[in-house]
Amino acid sequence: MKPFNWLAFLSGARKSDVVMALLLFVIVDAAVGIGFALNQKPLAFNYDVPFRSRTWYALTDLAQQKQTPDLVLLGASDMTCALYGAEATYQKKTVSQLTNHRSTYLESQLEKASAPYKSTFCLAIPGEMPSDQYFMLRTLVSNKVKPKALYCTMVPRNFVDATFKNPSTSDVYKNAARVNGVGIADEIACRKKDVFSLFDWGLSRLSSVYGHAQTFKSIQHHLVQSICRPGDSQFETVKMPVTMRKLALMDLPEDFAPTEVGQDPFDPNNNVFVDNLHEYRVRYSQFSPKIWAQQLDYFKRTCELAKAEGIDLVVGNSPLTAENLAMVPADTYKRYLDQVSSTVRANGGVFVDLNLPGLFQHDDFFDSVHLNGKGGQKFLSYVADAMSSRSLAQSATQQTK
């Protein structure tokens, strides 16, 4: 058997357009990888994307803070509606939910409660699941932006939501994956039952060009805008007719301009209640033991990570109206409360139940789940009490007994 003739092979390869194209791509791909590695920003989540989601606004704003906030808030729309409604009412003006992530009202209540935390930052995103909360916390820790305390809201929907399919489909996950907030094991676990998704992720790891496709798309969009609109190539300033905007939202529902989502102050003379029970009938329509176990596991990871990093953890069961709570089977709700509270306490955290009778009235809500500005201020006052030195000390004493 004749030995393989490498010289003949290389000589033939030089004449092949396909081989030379592949070689050129490998060289360019390696150069791109080295370039991105050398051009790392101080905070990995200070990045650009071709569309602006709530998660992008929140992480970008966090990157611009001069100091790490003492208290970070996590949760879904139960937190965002309460916080921004309270803030707009406190400031007596419309507040942007996309560019304003600090709560001056909560900070005033923390001071009144003699809490050891002064500054606040909201990383709650509508629809946020326990898996998203875990990836948010991992993003903070991996980027060395570690708060002193964490307040997480919980509702039954976090574990029983028929519209939720997979952790890897959320916008929080996608952004966290870009900024080291998702580990390799989590990537594989989230995508393993979707062959195409797993292949896409593997290819993004092998190829720097493919892995940074969103960055190149962002650069391309900026170049096109700079040509079409010299001197103004910012995505946020693009204006279009309402009809085209609606079409754009169908393709990218998470793409917002900074002034597009605002919260008005609470008006006691116009306290309108919206019936959204149909939406929650759909969400509660199908109980999935797999989703329950999956999201409970992510919640446990959040509690364990907070404990390991020395972050004070407070988890609150958010208030619901009686008509919404009536759609959750009593045994399911009890199981939810028992497992969430025991998980928090097992990791040295504080659990507070704000869904007790008498804490909130029906006119504190603007629909069956979300608080209005008046209810939001009441809610944040309870949050501040839970974050007080007295409450934390009492919890620590109970843990040692």
- Measured N-to-C along each axis, helices 330-346 and 289-308 cross at an angle, to the nearest 10 degrees, of 20
Rounded distance, CA 77 to CA 192, Å?
A: 29
Length of the chain in terms of residues written: 401
Whose CA is closest to 248, among 7, 52, 380, 41?
52
- pLDDT at residue number 34: 82
- pLDDT at residue number 392: 57
Is residue 28 helix, strand or coil?
Answer: helix
Which two tokens mark 358?
């008498």
Rounded distance, CA 379 to CA 106, Å?
A: 10
Residue 1: band (very low, low, confident or very high) from pLDDT cuts 50, 70, 90: low
Span 238-244, average pLDDT: 65
pTM check: above 0.75: yes
DSSP H or E run through 120: strand 120-122
For strands 262-263 and 95-96, give the pairing.
Answer: antiparallel
Span 116-126, average pLDDT: 96
The model's pLDDT over 369-395, given as tens digits with 9 standing for 90+, comes to 999 999 999 999 999 999 996 555 555
Q: What DSSP assignment string belongs to 268-332?
A: GGG------HHHHHHHTS---HHHHHHHHHHHHHHHHHHHHTT-EEEEEE----HHHHTTS-HHH
Which two tokens mark 378?
């009441």
Asked if pLDDT for residue 316 goes beyond 90, the answer is yes
| Averaged pLDDT score across all residues of the chain | 86
- pLDDT at residue number 225: 76
Is residue 225 a contact partner of residue 211, using CB atoms and an 8 Å limit? no
Q: CA 349, 148, 106, 75: dihedral to nearest 10 degrees?
A: -60
Rounded distance, CA 134 to CA 355, Å?
A: 23
- pLDDT at residue number 376: 97
The dihedral of CA 290, 300, 97, 50: what is its sign?
negative
Asked if pLDDT for residue 10 goes beyond 60, the answer is no
The CATH code of the domain at 54-400 is: 3.40.50.1110
Rounded distance, CA 235 to CA 49, Å?
A: 10
Residue 401: band (very low, low, confident or very high) from pLDDT cuts 50, 70, 90: very low
Residue percentage of the chain with pLDDT more than 90: 57
- Measured N-to-C along each axis, helices 373-386 and 104-112 cross at an angle, to the nearest 10 degrees, of 40
Domain ranges of the chain: 7-38, 54-400
